[in-house]
Chains A and B, each alone.
Chain A
Amino acid sequence: MDVQIWTYIIVGITFSIYIGIAIGARAGSTKEFYVAGGGVSPLANGLATAADWMSAASFLGLAGIISFSGRDGSVYLMGWTGGYVLLALLLAPYLRKFGKFTVPDFVGDRYYSQTARIIAVICALFISFTYVAGQMRGVGIVFSRFLQVDITWGVIMGMAIVFFYAVLGGMKGITYTQVAQYCVLIFAFTVPAVYISLMLTDNPIPQLGFGADLVDEPGMSLLDKLDGLSEELGFNKYTQGQKGTMDTFFITMALMVGTAGLPHVIVRFFTVPKVSDARKSGLYALVFIAILYTMAPAVSAFARTNLLATIPGATYKEVPQWFKKWENAGLISWVDKNKDGKIKYGPGIAFGENADGKLKPQLLFDKSGELQRGKNNEVILYNTPSKNSNELYIDKDIIVLANPEIAGLPDWVIALVAAGGLAAALSTAAGLLLVISTSVAHDLIKKSINPNISERGELIAARLAAVGAVLVAGYFGINPPDYVAAVVALAFGLAAASFFPILILGIFSKKINKQGAIAGMLVGLISTLTYIVYFKFINVADNKPENWLFGISPEGFGTFGMILNFIITVTVSKFTPEPPQEVQNMVEALRYPGEAKK
């Protein structure tokens, strides 16, 4: 059996499981649709949160980013896990005690203000739409790479699956499919990682293996070898960081706080029965996330070592089969600048922009649709070679995608990686779509426009909103806006600068009032939005450290917006009337998980 048949079989089986679960877990009420009836066990919720959180970017992208940035990649590892400490300690238990359906619910009630609720809804919708477009794109890419399906059809298939369990099952359906998806994605990530760790270092645990000595060179540790190889080729040492300290601080903080402010993550904690369960599921969630997040940097180091040890200096004729396969897919490209037939790899970008103005290889085809090839039989490109001596382009996604082939693993493992990538993308997409449909049906229609809507009417509205959201997400998946990568920074920055401070202050202080919260949210939102949009969209050429405010990059600016939000909210609240007594009583009640036993 070849890879493709294996992929059809494994993806087919996993999809049948998801659909089976969806049919078994149909939502019958709005409570089931929004928060799975509030009866999910902490373990199941931890698994679902982990799948919800880990997207196509975590599964395919994370190891790749670290592989190319070495120690500087730590910001993502710490940033995307440290937020769970904030969630489990500062937010989840209290928001659970509050006992409503959504984050805007809390903001609207705590700040006794329809305006605050609407601003929160807008933030939630914006963050979720930003995020979901990337997920649908991820689904399309996995389909097209592994099953040779057109990206459009890949996205449509992904939409059909998500449609099935998100629209029918709501949160109840999503929760149990996410549990299954976590199992699929973690298995798919672990199998190749363990194999490669064994091959390189004889240690079956990748987390330990990447500090161990190489099998081929006793006494030489893998990381020392990697540092040496990197320096030989003119790269910085893998284990040294180049990023400025202050900027690293701001980015790490923005990612942590942003994680804790993401509505689709927070809402997962509304699905467990008790406050103590909310704390526990925070623990489970981080344990399950940590399994992948501690393995990813090991995979990065293994892949980088393999790559640097085998490819640079080799002639094109001797490169392994996987190199040629991914070259045909445009994920690896080689331009023989010095005409010596050997692959030279070093710092710098190997070639200029393609016809769309992007730094991606553009393959050339002849009239019969065959790839055009050069003297060494390598794939040739539309892009003009750049002036530096680097001849090699490697796409970041390759690190996880090609890992099984680089390690020479059996075909079913490759198929498993495809199913894992799909599980990661679909689970995150579903969680986001649910936030969107809840925001529209519950926060906008029920709480703002038509409070008299019946339970049935609201459930229908929620399903219709989910349908609408799936269609919009699919559209963006098929016609991705150029800025998908740039908007991720925006989503985190906005979550950090808008939600986080007013949630924390709303829980831990009784005196913070609606004037403070509205002013704080608006200032945090607008300052962060302006800064990121200016450097990422309007004046991209100016996006350099010397132009940044206090040396903070757009990725880290959410931290600054958050601090501003805190200051403004507290100051404005000091000079305006206290919140009504009943609101202060509500805050007081959040602090105790229950009543004393009689």
Chain B
Amino acid sequence: MKQSDKTLYWKKNLKYLLILLSIWFFVSFVLGVFFVDYLDGVKKTANGIVEDPESIFHGFRLGGFKLGFWIGQQGAVYVFVLIILIYVILMNKLDKKFNIEEKEIKTSDH
């Protein structure tokens, strides 16, 4: 493999990682933690949790689930699977494009 190819291959890989990990962070933390109440159509106040009619998701149901609840207990896990799936496909394509031939790696002590 030429050095310029190597650099290009690595840069592509880093780009994929950056995009996919941003999705991972967005779904788990932005949707699943920070805005979960908003997606559920409620808000935390000094008097406990109350309905939030200002949320555009107020009253919204996804197959019977409130959106934030669904993301935390189902949706995020599906997205994680998809992220890895997409990464596997992208990297297999990249390996092909750069004509990388994988041999079995010899595990050894030396």
Contact = CB atoms under 8 A, between A and B. Distances in A.
Contact of A101 (B2, B36, B103, B107): B107
Contacts of A588: 6
Interface stretch (A6-14, A289-297, A412-420): A289-297
Contact of A89 (B17, B40, B65, B69): B17
Nearest to A207: B74
Contacts of B21: 85, 89-90
Contacts of A77: 72-73, 76-77
Nearest to B24: A85
Interface in A34-63: 35, 38-39
B33 A283 contact: no
Interface in B32-67: 32-34, 36-37, 40, 42, 49, 61-66
Interface in A581-596: 588, 591-596
Q: Which of A85, A282, A287 has the most CB of B within 10 A?
A: A85
Interface string A555-598: 00000000000000000000000000000000010011111110
Contacts of B62: 211
Interface in B80-95: 80-81, 83-85, 87-88, 91-92, 95
Contact of B28 (A208, A256, A286, A287): A256
Contact of A297 (B36, B73, B109): B73
B32 A594 contact: no
Contacts of B29: 249, 252-253
Interface string A97-117: 101110000000000000000
Given A74-B72, A77-B73, A240-B49, A279 B87 contact: yes
A594 B101 contact: yes
A248 interface: yes
B2 to A, nearest CB: 8
A427 to B, nearest CB: 21
Contact of B69 (A71, A78, A242, A290): A71
A89 B77 contact: no
Contacts of A242: 49
A221 B76 CA distance: 22
Q: Which of B36, B62, B84 has the most CB of A within 10 A?
A: B84
Given A81-B77, A82-B76, A35 B107 contact: yes
A388 B81 CA distance: 45
A290 B77 CA distance: 7
A207 B36 CA distance: 20
B37 A241 contact: yes
A310 interface: no
Contacts of B33: 245, 248-249, 252
Contacts of B28: 78, 82, 252, 256
Nearest to B44: A245
A78 B32 contact: yes
A74 B64 contact: no
A524 B5 CA distance: 37
A350 interface: no
B42 A275 contact: no
A389 interface: no
A446 B108 CA distance: 13
Nearest to A238: B69
Contacts of A290: 77-78, 80-81
A88 B84 contact: yes
A161 B15 CA distance: 47
A276 B92 contact: yes
Q: Which of B36, B49, B63, B74 has the most CB of A within 10 A?
A: B74
B85 A208 contact: no
A588 B3 CA distance: 11
A532 B64 CA distance: 39
Interface string B7-32: 00110010001001100100011001
Contacts of B17: 89-90
A213 B1 contact: no
A66 B107 CA distance: 42
Contacts of B104: 38-39, 273-274
Contacts of B13: 591
Contacts of B103: 274, 594-595
B73 A73 contact: yes
Contacts of B78: 290, 294
Contacts of A249: 29, 33-34
A286 B80 contact: yes
B87 A96 contact: no
A245 B10 CA distance: 36
Contacts of B1: 592, 595-596
Nearest to A247: B33
B84 A239 contact: no
Contacts of B95: 276, 593-594
Interface in A276-334: 276, 279-280, 282-283, 286-287, 290, 293-294, 297
Nearest to B2: A596
A294 B61 CA distance: 18
Contacts of A212: 63-64
A596 B32 contact: no
Interface string A159-174: 0000000000000000
Contacts of B37: 241
A432 interface: no
Interface of B: 1-2, 5-6, 9-10, 13, 17, 20-21, 24, 28-29, 32-34, 36-37, 40, 42, 49, 61-66, 68-70, 72-74, 76-78, 80-81, 83-85, 87-88, 91-92, 95, 98-109
19 contacts: A35-B107, A38-B106, A71-B36, A73-B73, A74-B36, A81-B80, A82-B80, A85-B84, A88-B87, A211-B63, A212-B63, A221-B61, A249-B29, A276-B88, A290-B77, A294-B73, A294-B74, A594-B102, A596-B100
Given A71-B68, A71-B69, A274-B104, 10 more contacts: A66-B73, A74-B73, A78-B77, A89-B84, A99-B105, A211-B61, A242-B49, A279-B88, A283-B84, A596-B100
The 3 closest A-B pairs by CB, nearest first: A74-B72, A211-B64, A594-B102
Interface of A: 31, 35, 38-39, 66, 71, 73-74, 77-78, 81-82, 84-85, 88-90, 93, 96-97, 99-101, 207-208, 211-213, 221-223, 236-237, 239-242, 245, 248-249, 252-253, 256, 270, 273-276, 279-280, 282-283, 286-287, 290, 293-294, 297, 446, 588, 591-597
